[in-house]
């Protein structure tokens, strides 16, 4: 019977062409937007984790309350010991030290006089320790425009935009003025080893990235760190595991009233990311519901029109002794065949478009910047395993539902009326 129905669907274009087009468009949009939203939310979470929040972050309680001000006078002491303890207690995570600081970058001319100055947001990470993955985690090698990564103490990366604005070249000397952990004046000289562009306005306006040992020396932060970040080694962010680690760690200091006692936060707890993570989880389900509902309405109307056109056919089949329920079943079988065909076509087209967006993305420029949450300027899709089957849910269900709703008319009409229409 399936072969018979398939021949009928293929030969009668009026029966199948419009539903296949509608389903293909709906499945195409479902697959494309599912992959795109997955990419947007995944990139947003990764960017915030790698540059700012970590999957987990440890700070002093006082620092956590004023984290936006980068108060290094409230930093963690004995950072090496803390990292060692965290690595022993939670070996599934990689723990790294970070320092964020603000300052004034001074560019001197050939006579050593100030030629240009600009505000800069500084980040100190571990560039030089053997096996450190900090540069790769922050995507620095791929973001370098000129020059190279720092290879020795005293070298720094600056944003390419800052370098162009003030005419700074690779190999030039720059000075950084700021404040030490103890409130004194900090002054450090660096050699520009390269320039970077991350595609995030907050960093590209004026950033300086140095090795953490240089920052500790310049800011009088020996064996201190503003933040200790944890990253899951074997997987992307897992909020349930992160909650378990956070709860266990904070329980150790629950009875300690010291404002300098360490406190751990999850990625969810920072930069307003919790609501975005919840939104990312519900987006696919919401999108499928919308497309199923919309396509079902369209296909219901299509089925009603097709049913009216096929009353003569139904009359002949009833005259030959076929039961109403059998006719209804064949309508559903046809719906499955048409839905499967449209779903395959839509999925192929959706995956093709999603692959393009995954490789090239769409740039929204400065429109997405601002606020406490970091976002990339280029939004890319991300094709996951669900992209290969998610379109079949609305594709098959909506067509079947549409035909089922339109096929109810077979039961509502009397056999005599169908015979009468046959004779007309």
Which band of pLDDT confidence, cut at 50, 70 and 90, is reported for residue 373? very low
Identify the H or E element spanning 22: helix 13-48
Residues pairing with 228 in the sheet: 58, 97
* CB-CB contact of 51 with 203 (8 Å): yes
- Phi and psi (nearest 5°) for 154? 90, 5
Q: What is the pLDDT, as a whole number, of residue 370?
A: 46
Helix (H, G, I), strand (E, B) or coil at 74: helix
Q: What is the pLDDT, as a whole number, of residue 375?
A: 59
58, pLDDT greater than 90: yes
Judged on CB neighbours under 10 Å (0-12, 13-18, 19+), 203 is: buried
Give the whole-angstrom CA distance, residue 281 versus residue 223: 40
Which residues are CB-contacts of 75 (< 8 A; sequence separation ≥ 6)?
A: 60, 63, 99, 181, 221, 224, 225, 226
- Phi and psi (nearest 5°) for 174? -130, 155
Mean pLDDT (the chain, rounded): 82
Which band of pLDDT confidence, cut at 50, 70 and 90, is reported for residue 411? low
CA 190 to chain centroid: 35
* Start-to-end C-alpha separation, the chain: 30
- Phi and psi (nearest 5°) for 113? -90, 155
* CB-CB contact of 399 with 335 (8 Å): yes
The CA dihedral of 61, 62, 65, 71, to the nearest 10 degrees, is -130
Report the pLDDT averaged over residues 362-384.
64
DSSP 359-391: HH-EE-GGGG--SSS---SEE-----GGGGTTT
Report the pLDDT averaged over residues 75-100.
95
- Portion of the chain with pLDDT greater than 70, in percent: 82
Delimit the domains of the chain by residue range. Answer: 2-47+275-423, 56-236
- Identify the residue whose tokens are 């001197």: 108
Give the whole-angstrom CA distance, residue 206 versus residue 197: 10
pTM summary value: 0.73
84, pLDDT greater than 90: yes
Which band of pLDDT confidence, cut at 50, 70 and 90, is reported for residue 371? very low
Per-residue burial over 33-65, b = 16 or more CB atoms within 10 Å of its CB, e = otherwise: bbbbbbbbbbbbbbbbbbbbbbbbbbbbbbbbe
Choose the weakest-confidence range: 153-167, 222-236, 351-365, 373-387.
373-387
Judged on CB neighbours under 10 Å (0-12, 13-18, 19+), 112 is: exposed
- CB count in 10 Å sphere of residue 11: 9
């Amino acid at each position: 019977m399936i072969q018979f129905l398939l021949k009928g669907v293929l030969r009668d274009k009026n029966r199948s062409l419009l539903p296949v087009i509608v389903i293909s468009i709906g499945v195409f949009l479902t697959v494309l937007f599912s992959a795109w939203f997955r990419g947007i939310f995944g990139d947003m979470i990764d960017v915030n984790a790698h540059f700012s929040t970590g999957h987990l972050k440890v700070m002093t309680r006082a620092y956590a309350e004023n984290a936006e001000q980068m108060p290094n006078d409230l930093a963690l002491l004995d950072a090496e010991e803390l990292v060692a303890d965290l690595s022993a207690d939670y070996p599934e995570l990689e723990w790294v030290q970070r320092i964020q600081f603000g300052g004034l970058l001074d560019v001197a001319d050939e006579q050593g006089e100030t030629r240009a100055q600009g505000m800069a947001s500084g980040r100190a990470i571990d560039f030089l320790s053997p096996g450190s993955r900090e540069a790769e985690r922050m995507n620095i090698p791929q973001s370098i425009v000129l020059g190279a990564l720092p290879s020795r103490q005293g070298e720094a990366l600056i944003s390419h935009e800052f370098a162009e604005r003030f005419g700074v070249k690779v190999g030039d000397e720059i000075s950084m003025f700021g404040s030490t952990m103890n409130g004194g004046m900090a002054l450090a000289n660096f050699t520009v080893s390269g320039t970077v562009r991350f595609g995030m306005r907050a960093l590209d306006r004026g950033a300086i990235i140095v090795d953490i040992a240089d920052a500790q020396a310049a800011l009088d932060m020996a064996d201190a760190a503003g933040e200790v970040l944890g990253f899951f080694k074997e997987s992307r962010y897992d909020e349930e595991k992160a909650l378990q680690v956070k709860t266990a760690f904070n329980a150790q200091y629950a009875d300690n009233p010291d404002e300098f006692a360490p406190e751990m936060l999850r990625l969810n707890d920072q930069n307003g990311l919790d609501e975005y993570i919840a939104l990312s989880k519900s987006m696919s389900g919401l999108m499928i519901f919308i497309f199923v509902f919309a396509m079902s309405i369209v296909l219901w109307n299509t089925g009603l029109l097709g049913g009216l056109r096929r009353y003569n056919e139904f009359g002949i089949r009833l005259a030959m002794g076929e039961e109403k329920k059998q006719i209804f079943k064949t309508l559903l079988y046809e719906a499955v065949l048409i839905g499967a065909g449209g779903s395959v076509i839509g999925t192929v087209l959706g995956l093709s478009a999603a692959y393009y967006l995954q490789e090239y993305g769409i740039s929204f420029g400065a429109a997405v910047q601002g606020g406490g949450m970091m976002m990339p300027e280029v939004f890319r899709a991300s094709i996951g395993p669900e992209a290969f089957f998610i379109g079949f849910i609305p594709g098959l269900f909506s067509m079947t539902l549409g035909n089922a709703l339109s096929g109810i008319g077979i039961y509502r009409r009397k056999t005599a009326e169908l015979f009468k229409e046959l004779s007309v």
